[in-house]
Amino acid sequence: MEDPSKPRPNWLERLSDLFQHEPEDREELVELLHAAYARNLLDAEALGMIEGVLSVGELTVGDVMIQRSQMDVIRQADPIERFLPMVIESGHSRFPVIGEDRDDVIGILLAKDLLRYFHNPETFDLAKVLRPVVFVPESKPLNVLLKDFRSTRNHLAVVVDEYGGVAGLVTIEDVIEQIVGDIEDETDFTETEEQIVQVRGQRYRVSALTEIEVFNEFFGSRFASDDVDTIGGLVLEMFGHVPKRGDSQESDGMRFTVIKADSRRLQTLLVEKVQRDA
């Protein structure tokens, strides 16, 4: 029987008691963490974050990067009035600036550096405001990248493949989301926002939580599933696994590209009607 005169151990002491037997490997450690959760020593959010920290040690930059084809870039030769609408529409804070092609990244433009030129664009000189580019290989471990981001205060790096070509880009948010889950920003959907938003032409930004019935009514499509109710669930069925950002699948004349996802779930899709040649 517990002595009421003795102070109750705090959650850290109780968790330490659970770990009296040192785990032999990662799998056993995860089992102990889930046991701690079952005994209310950890809440679901804390458990998810600890598992996220463990996963970061096993992931590489290539696992979470934004694919080359999905990068929003600015061409060095373009005047400000040409790329400013894209900057405003995307909502990003940093943009790779390229020369001849996407393999020729010459600098990074911060959106905030455009403010002083907004009312006087003829004075804009792109070369004077470019920040240096940080290049990292696809194979770089995420935990090492996070340490580098913190020490250098960079928030974006351009990812290169084994041949030196640009494979994509990665941000500090991409890394942190592997630990804490989705970080909502101004480009994310809210509960009151329309779940299907036209981006440009026949391209639409679609919340993964959009019900298949709502999706079909909007696009005039006939998608159906006996196992899932949302378009995100349907896309997961198409892939057979949780895809990374930039991954695409085509079905029934529609192309689904993952815009935002973490290691657990899909959040936002880019949907396009595929034009077939006659």
221-244 burial, b if ≥16 CB within 10 A, otherwise e?
bebeeeeeebbbbbbbeeeeeebb
| Fold held by 196-273 | 3.30.465
pLDDT at 269 over 70: yes
pLDDT in tens, 14-64: 555 555 556 566 677 767 777 767 777 766 667 666 766 777 777 888 888
- Rounded Cα distance, 264 and 276, in Å: 33
- Rounded Cα distance, 231 and 209, in Å: 7
CB contact at 8 A, 91 and 186:
yes
| Fold held by 62-180 | CBS-domain (3.10.580)
| Mean pLDDT along residues 182-207 | 66
Q: How confident is the model at residue 110 (pLDDT cuts 50, 70, 90)?
A: very high
CB contact at 8 A, 51 and 33:
yes
User: In one letter, which amino acid is 216?
Assistant: N
Domain positions in the chain: 62-180, 196-273
Q: Which residue has the tokens 């036209």?
A: 198
pLDDT in tens, 75-94: 999 888 888 888 887 778 89
- Rounded Cα distance, 163 and 89, in Å: 33
CB contact at 8 A, 98 and 130:
no
Q: What number of other Cβ atoms are within 10 A of residue 220's Cβ?
A: 7
- Which residues have C-beta within 8 Å of that of residue 79, sequence separation ≥ 6? 121
Joined tokens for residue 48? 């998810």
* pLDDT confidence of residue 191: 45
